[in-house]
Chains A and B, each alone.
Chain A
Amino acid sequence: MSVQGYVEAFERFARDGGRTPAWLAPIRRAAMDRFQALGFPTRHDEDWHFTSAAPIAEADFTPLAGLGGPETVADVSSADLEPFTFRGAEWPRLVFLNGRFAASLSSTVGLPARVRVASLADALANDTPELRRHLTTIADTERNAFAALNTALFTDGVFLHVPAGVSVESPIHLLFLTDAEGARGVAYPRILVVADAHAQATLIESYVGLGDPSYFTDSVAELSLGDGSRIAHIRVQRESQRAFHVGLSQARQARDSHYASFSFATGASLSRANIYTDLAAPGAEVTLDGLYLADDAQHVDHQTRIVHRAPNCASHEVYKGILDGAAHGVFNGKVYVHPEAQKTDGKQTNNNLLLSTDAQVDTKPQLEIFADDVKCTHGATVGRLDEVALFYLKSRGLAAEEARTLLTYAFAADVLQRIATPAVRETLESLVRERFVGVPALAAG
């Protein structure tokens, strides 16, 4: 759909107006103007050098939840969601089906009393100061056309507020499902997480396609981490193999906050995840980790951006990719260290494993350092399975195919170890095994 098509969609949406509070309307219009000015990214954009957005720009998508209407949870039941839970865990969850909140599939039982979690549409209808103060203030819509488009057009999503000093023990799962009903549609999930001082929570943001419809997800998550807060944020992208997925996750970190981000990407025909964080005050720490798996003609792109604005902050990043078939992986990791960010401790690695001759990867770790007293390293590798290790396994009786799958799995295993929640880690481990069929469980003992 042309830029003009989206502009027209916006005008219809703006006329309808009912769901947008007055304070948000001008922000949406400004974002639409920005999208119009930026247009879809092209290969001339430095940030999109290795990924073509043309398949998204050229396709026609209908807004999935644009104009309201009754909730339709056609044929999906709680039991159907079982495969997308984490070892059956009954965590609080908010489920969205084809862009629309599915209250009947959702539950917030078990959350501490003062924690607020709601669909964004509900939250906007019952506006709070936290929502107003933060919504649309973190995501970079200035340079990011897809984030601008989301800001202009989002209808629903999630608002999570964890008040000062509150620890949420149970992970909270946000599940965005698209099924055949959502074919040829576009959804703009929008998430806002506000963690006040010393609050703690774990958030899982999953995107799942049921069957193989073609559709477009353009998501934005904004996270505000207050002083000393700790947020773990796991992104699981399992869109249908024919889907398009562009997602931004952007955090702003206050003093001594700790953000642990993990991006797991295995779905979509074309996907791009922008994972950004701003270390805005001293003592803030971040771990940005990820694992991408792709085969056939899948294209999977991660762009991470860590901005060190204050002294004594640490960022540790490990991304791994496994590419088979004719898949194309892209990793572009930027670390900026501002002049005032002395004593920065930054470490970035990206390792890729190519399983076929047609698979390819472009990796571009970038450090831009303007402070002099820092410890920053980065490195990237692209390799194939280690022949020596393969022989070692075979010499102990493992068949060739088994040795290959075992080593492939082993390549991914250490980055998954960085996920703190065991049920999530184990589920993702199984997904990796399923992806490279035949690898048995690696339990110790």
Chain B
Amino acid sequence: MTTTDNTVLQITDLHAAIGENEILRGISLTVNAGEVHAIMGPNGSGKSTLAQVLAGHPAYEVTAGRVTYDGEDLLEMEPETRAQRGLFLAFQYPVEIPGVTNAYFLRAAYNEIRKAKGLDEIDPIEFLELVEHRLKLVDMDPAMLNRFVNAGFSGGEKKRNEILQMAVLEPRLAILDETDSGLDIDALRVVAHGVNSLRRPDNATIVVTHYQRLLNYIVPDRVHVLAGGRIVRSGGKELALELEARGYDWLTEAAPAGVGVGTGA
């Protein structure tokens, strides 16, 4: 695997455990600017764990391996530093925060990123204009801004709200953990449209999904299959179609223990 100036994320032989239980067992993956990578795989294979470890969740202990983000050691950074440097995780299960309005939350997050870049806080009026524009992108009712973060939102609304945050924060690396699950087909199109319109040559996206249909809208450069905490197969977008037709069994049974087969890019 080669690292270029273009490399956003490089994961090398990553192992992570929760308590005694090793969940990630040697993951290697390289994501370059401008790319979209899809990660698929059976339930419990470690997809969310990988996403959470990249975001810095304290419950997971990295037991071996390295992760560099824009050439720096990601694992050394606090979760908030990762976010301030442009890493964004759309949660599989977005968290409800009663008492904090969506509008306040978005602005606080936006300003943290500006502060990290040495910029002043954004003017509230200017921010409102930005948010209104982004709301349109994800087809969300502006009234949602005055509601408490995710509190009482439907499953689909929560997912849309994650994409709204992403649209406002414009991350360098976005990791979408099953953002398509629980969305109806119209919402799926809206979300995919949002993600596509934010795609730029200098950012990158990892989409975790169970469904090939999302990949009709967000076309990946690479598809990886995660099983038992390892990437057992990587390929182009046609791999997703093959998985749709054949399921995962043919891959998981063939996977030799202890060796990661295939790596990213």
Q: List the interface of chain A (C-beta within 8 A of B).
A: 387-389, 391-400, 402-403, 406-407, 409-414, 440, 442-445
User: Which of B97, B99, B169 is in CB contact (< 8 Å) with A412?
Assistant: B99
Least CB distance from B160 to A in Å reads 16
Q: Is the CB of B169 within 8 A of A410?
A: no
Interface residues of B in 76-106 (CB under 8 A from A): 78-80, 82-84, 89, 91, 94-101, 103-105
Q: Is the CB of A397 within 8 A of B103?
A: no
User: Which of A389, A414, A443 is in CB contact (< 8 Å) with B104?
Assistant: A443
Q: Is residue B13 within 8 Å, beta carbon to beta carbon, of the partner chain?
A: no
Q: Is the CB of B91 within 8 A of A398?
A: no
- Find the A residue at minimum CB distance from B115: A397
Contacts of B96 in A (CB 8 A): 389
- Find the B residue at minimum CB distance from A410: B99
- Find the B residue at minimum CB distance from A388: B95
Q: Is the CB of B57 within 8 A of A391?
A: yes
Least CB distance from B138 to A in Å reads 17
Contacts of A412 in B (CB 8 A): 99
Q: Is the CB of B78 within 8 A of A445?
A: no
Q: Is the CB of A400 within 8 A of B95?
A: no
Q: Is the CB of A445 within 8 A of B103?
A: yes
Contacts of B97 in A (CB 8 A): 389, 392-393, 407, 410
Q: Is residue B18 within 8 Å, beta carbon to beta carbon, of the partner chain?
A: no
Task: Give A75 to B95 CA distance when docked, in angstroms.
Answer: 52
Task: Give A412 to B100 CA distance when docked, in angstroms.
Answer: 11
Q: Is the CB of A444 within 8 A of B55?
A: no
Q: Is the CB of B101 within 8 A of A398?
A: no
User: Which of A392, A411, A443 is in CB contact (< 8 Å) with B95?
Assistant: A392
Least CB distance from A163 to B in Å reads 40
Contacts of A413 in B (CB 8 A): 98-100
24 A-B interface contacts by CB (under 8 A)? A388-B95, A389-B97, A391-B57, A392-B95, A392-B97, A394-B79, A395-B55, A395-B56, A395-B91, A396-B112, A396-B165, A396-B169, A397-B80, A397-B112, A398-B80, A400-B78, A406-B100, A410-B100, A410-B148, A413-B100, A442-B100, A443-B104, A445-B103, A445-B124
Given contacts A388-B95, A389-B95, A392-B95, contact A442 B101 (CB under 8 A): yes
Q: Is the CB of B84 within 8 A of A397?
A: yes
Contacts of B80 in A (CB 8 A): 394-395, 397-400, 403
Q: Is residue B75 within 8 Å, beta carbon to beta carbon, of the partner chain?
A: no
Task: Give A397 to B103 CA distance when docked, in angstroms.
Answer: 15
Contacts of B82 in A (CB 8 A): 395
Q: Is the CB of B104 within 8 A of A392?
A: no
Q: Is the CB of A396 within 8 A of B95?
A: no
User: Which of A389, A391, A402, A444 is in CB contact (< 8 Å) with B58?
Assistant: A391
Contacts of B78 in A (CB 8 A): 394, 400
Q: Is the CB of A442 within 8 A of B56?
A: no
- Find the A residue at minimum CB distance from B55: A395
Contacts of B55 in A (CB 8 A): 395
Contacts of A400 in B (CB 8 A): 78, 80
- Find the A residue at minimum CB distance from B147: A444
Q: Is the CB of B145 within 8 A of A445?
A: yes
Q: Is residue B185 within 8 Å, beta carbon to beta carbon, of the partner chain?
A: no
Least CB distance from A413 to B in Å reads 4
Least CB distance from A318 to B in Å reads 13
Q: Is residue B113 within 8 Å, beta carbon to beta carbon, of the partner chain?
A: yes
Given contacts A388-B95, A444-B145, A444-B146, contact A395 B83 (CB under 8 A): yes
Contacts of B57 in A (CB 8 A): 391
Task: Give A445 to B84 CA distance when docked, in angstroms.
Answer: 21
Q: Is residue B128 within 8 Å, beta carbon to beta carbon, of the partner chain?
A: yes
Contacts of A396 in B (CB 8 A): 83, 105, 108-109, 112, 165, 169
Q: Is the CB of A394 within 8 A of B95?
A: no
Q: Is the CB of B99 within 8 A of A398?
A: no
- Find the A residue at minimum CB distance from B124: A445
- Find the A residue at minimum CB distance from B87: A395
Given contacts A395-B55, A395-B83, A444-B146, contact A410 B113 (CB under 8 A): no
Contacts of B58 in A (CB 8 A): 387, 391
Q: Is the CB of B79 within 8 A of A442?
A: no
Least CB distance from B228 to A in Å reads 26
Interface residues of B in 3-49 (CB under 8 A from A): none
- Taking A396-B83, A414-B99 as known contacts, 14 extra A-B pairs with beta carbons closer than 8 A to each other, sorted by chain A number, are A389-B96, A389-B97, A392-B97, A393-B97, A395-B79, A395-B83, A396-B105, A396-B109, A397-B80, A406-B100, A410-B100, A442-B101, A444-B146, A445-B103
